[in-house]
Amino acid sequence: MKNILITGGAGFIGSHVVRLFVKTFTSDHIYNLDALTYAGNLENLKDIESADNYSFIHADIQNLEVLTEIFETNKITHVIHLAAESHVDRSITDPLAFVKTNVLGTANLLQAAKEYWKDEYTDKLFYHVSTDEVYGSLGDTGFFYEDTAYDPRSPYSASKASSDHFVRAYHHTYGLPIVISNCSNNYGPNHFPEKLIPLMINNIIHKKPLPVYGEGLNVRDWLYVIDHARAIECIFSKGENGETYNIGGHNEWTNIDLVHVLCDTMDEKLNRTQGESRKLISYVKDRAGHDLRYAIDATKLKDELGWVPSLQFEEGLRKTIDWYLSNDSWLENVTSGAYAQYYKSMY
């Protein structure tokens, strides 16, 4: 039996991973460790919170002593590490918060695993969830591959790159069994509305300006969050010790084209006149150091482990919009209080 510690399980991607693991690995136990920062929300997991093979642990990965105790008490055999500060804009205003959680927090978790496993690595795994942003920024052509040199350019991506390096260092130095995956931009239900897609959906609902950075020509490669969770399950089950896998959907959009599709689809869903929401688009000052383009080549994951995305973008986007429209109380809960203050200071 595995005792699987998933960190950041109350967040956007983590909650989908926790749900998939609780439902898939019914003879194993899933421990969801989360500090419940502004981005963590246990409402995301209401449907599985009373499952026999699930427990929530309220803890901060910045605290090594607490982590050590958690490994011992729960006899942790596997880790899937998603807990992180994850928003580039916040990393520009408060970089040190990213160093504390993403760098120090990851090092703490590695250290706790190494100390508890005591060089006995049979049936153990440390799975680190990372981002394609560690590879830097692409021009108009080309893709990120698993062996693309790291070139992080925001405090967020620098902190994630550093955490990836620590994971590999523990593998090479101490033999810790690890896998790393680097994924492109995710979208889907439960996404906190500070990131592009949910922010635009929320603003369209409320007829608020749609802030597009610069000229809106930056390109992102979007993947439905449940497909990311499926990829994590696939790599967890079949990935090779020490390997890195890129995850992406070959689905590139300029920000402005994507905002146009969101506006038009929302006009249709909300019975508004076509073109009404596009009028809300407002070009604002560009993000400092804004990476131009991300694009993932996920051939290795497909060829070696057989993973492919299950959803086309148009379908995923419709599902996402439907989810936000029918979960207005979720949106209201996460956009009250601290979020309102953040929004006021950003835009």
Region of residue 337 (left: phi > 0; alpha: psi -120 to 50; beta: else): left
Contact call for residue 40 and ligand NAD (CB under 6 A): yes
Please indicate whether residue 133 is annotated as part of the active site: yes
> Residue 54 is encoded by which pair of tokens?
């699930």
Q: Which residues ranging from 167 to 186 are in contact with ligand TYD (CB under 6 A)?
A: 185
Contact call for residue 335 and ligand NAD (CB under 6 A): no
Please indicate whether residue 119 is annotated as part of the active site: no
- Contact assessment for residue 76 and residue 126, using Cβ atoms and an 8 Å cutoff: no
Q: Which residues ranging from 51 to 110 are in contact with ligand TYD (CB under 6 A)?
A: 88
Dist. CA 36–CA 83, nearest whole Å: 10
Among 192, 224, 294, 313, binds ligand NAD (CB under 6 A): 192
Could you give the maximum distance between any two Cα atoms of the chain, in Å? 64
Query: Which one is catalytic: 85, 132, 164, 194?
Result: 132
Dist. CA 289–CA 38, nearest whole Å: 25
Contact call for residue 86 and ligand NAD (CB under 6 A): yes
In sequence order, the β-bridge partners of residue 308 are none
Please indicate whether residue 49 is annotated as part of the active site: no
Contact call for residue 200 and ligand NAD (CB under 6 A): no
- Contact assessment for residue 81 and residue 7, using Cβ atoms and an 8 Å cutoff: yes
In sequence order, the β-bridge partners of residue 246 are 182
User: Cβ closer to ligand TYD: 119 or 340?
Assistant: 340
Element (H, E) at 339: helix 338-346
Dist. CA 80–CA 290, nearest whole Å: 29
Contact call for residue 190 and ligand TYD (CB under 6 A): no
Contact call for residue 99 and ligand NAD (CB under 6 A): no
| Site residues for ligand NAD per CB under 6 A | 7-8, 10-14, 34-37, 39-40, 60-62, 82-86, 101, 105, 129, 131, 160, 183, 185-186, 192
| Site residues for ligand TYD per CB under 6 A | 88, 185, 195-196, 199, 211-213, 218, 220, 255, 287
Instruction: Just list the catalytic residues.
Output: 132-133, 156
